[in-house]
Every structure is written in structure tokens, then in C-alpha cells.
Structure 1
Amino acid sequence: MLPHILKIEELNEHIESQNSICKKYDSDIKPIDAQLFIGLATGLEFEPINGFRHPEHGTMNGWYIWSGEWSDSHDFFKPVHASCLVEMCPEILKYLSLDVGFRFQIDRKGYEDVWFDEKITRLE
């Protein structure tokens, strides 16, 4: 159990960069509940890396992240703890306090696009 706790503490180290991203893109700051799951579709080995935030629901904190091609398959996203991103793709962590309705697309060369999408603010 201790390694999981340490990973959550590592998430908290990114609060300053999360606040900076929220300010840059005019988003309310909405930190994730690290006990809930992120929907992760791939190992994030491809580019670009994409993410969007729905409202929290069930055991999901609302974030869905993937790289490479999108799929409409019902099992495209798998639930993982946010703490897994500390090791897999730490560059994503600074986006996780963006409010519901925000999307991002990044690559490892410095490309960054963040925008608000009203359509994803409601679960339908």
C-alpha cells in the first residue's frame, strides 16, 4: 500500500503547474480525486496524446486519455489510477486540474493545444 500513497504524493507535487495551466486557459481549478480512476485507452506510446474531462461518475474522475487512433469500441478505455501517470507520462499531470469540459492535445516535442468543449460537460 505504501508505494501507492507515495505516487499520490507525487501527483500533489504538480499542483503549481496545474494551477498555471488552468490560469493560462481560463479554467476553474478542479483537482482530481486521486482515489477515482482515469479512463486510459493506450500505453501513451503514440503521438499526439489526447485527453478530455467529463463530469465525475461512479468510480471515474472524468478524465479520458489516449494516444494514437480513436476507437468507438466499448472497451477502448480501461480504468487506471491517476498515480499510474506519474511513471507512464508525467507531462500529462499538469492538465489534470482543468475543469469539466476541457480537452487537451500534446506531443513530446512541445506542442500543446487546450480548449473548452461544451458538448462534454454533460453525460448523455
Structure 2
Amino acid sequence: MCAKYGSNFNPINIKLFIGIGADMEYEPINGLRHPEHGTMNGWYIWCGEFSDSDDFFKPIHIECLLESNPEILKYLSLDVGFRFLIDKKGYEDVWFDEKLKNI
């Protein structure tokens, strides 16, 4: 995935948390990667409409996310600043967003 989209290979620290939107049953699935900070590895993933509410994202371990959404795994080594948008029908869009490098 990294080679396909011109990203450096940047695996996540599995001891840190991913921020996940409350309901991961809808589509499309959105993901973006900020730099690591505190106990967060920088990935924020959600489905449906985005909210800037303080409680929109909940921290979870990578294992919990991959049990319910294994298709996400191949995107998690994209470098800081990358985003993705996918659905279960095969749609895939991956792009770099410079603004994500600064929190």
C-alpha cells in the first residue's frame, strides 16, 4: 500500500491507541494519520458523518479494531499525513494531506 501511494513505510506502535468513531458498522470508512501524541498512535478512523465533538473518538487497541474491520490493516503503515476512504465494495481512495502533520 505504501509503495502504491508513494508513502514511506511507517508501522504503528501497537502499544498505543487508535481513535475510533463510535459506530464502525456504516460505510464508507475514513481514516487519517496525525503524528503520535500521548497514548495515541495518530490514526483516527470513523464511518459516516464526521463530528468535531470532543467525545466523537474513543481510544481502542489495534487488535479490537482489526477483529471487526480487518480490511483496515493494510492502510495502517501509511505515513503521517495520509488519509484513506474505503468501502466493502472495493472503493479505495488514498491521499496525502500536509495539514495532518501538525496537530
Q: Distance in 1 between matches of 2:84 and 2:54?
A: 22
May I ask how many residue pairs the two structures share in their alignment? 103
Max Rg structure: 1
User: Deviations for 1:34-55, whole angstroms, at most 9, x for unmatched residues?
Assistant: 0000000133111100000000
The code of the aligned residue for 1:67 comes to C
Q: TM-score, normalised by structure 1?
A: 0.81
Say yes or no: does 1:54 pair with 2:31: no
Q: Corresponding residue for 2:7?
A: 27
Q: How does 1:8-23 map to 2 (within 5 A)?
A: 21-23=1-3
User: Deviations for 1:52-88, whole angstroms, at most 9, x for unmatched residues?
Assistant: 0000000000000000111111110000001112211
Runs of 5+ consecutive residues of structure 2 not aligned to the other structure: none
Indicate which of 51, 71, 87 corresponds to 1:71.
51
Please list every run of at least 4 consecutive aligned residues from structure 1 whose deviation after the TM superposition is greater than 2 angstroms. none
Say yes or no: does 1:115 pair with 2:95: yes
Q: Corresponding residue for 2:71?
A: 91
Structure with a larger share of its residues in strand? 2
Q: CA RMSD in A?
A: 0.6
Q: Corresponding residue for 1:104?
A: 84
Structure with a larger share of its residues in helix? 1
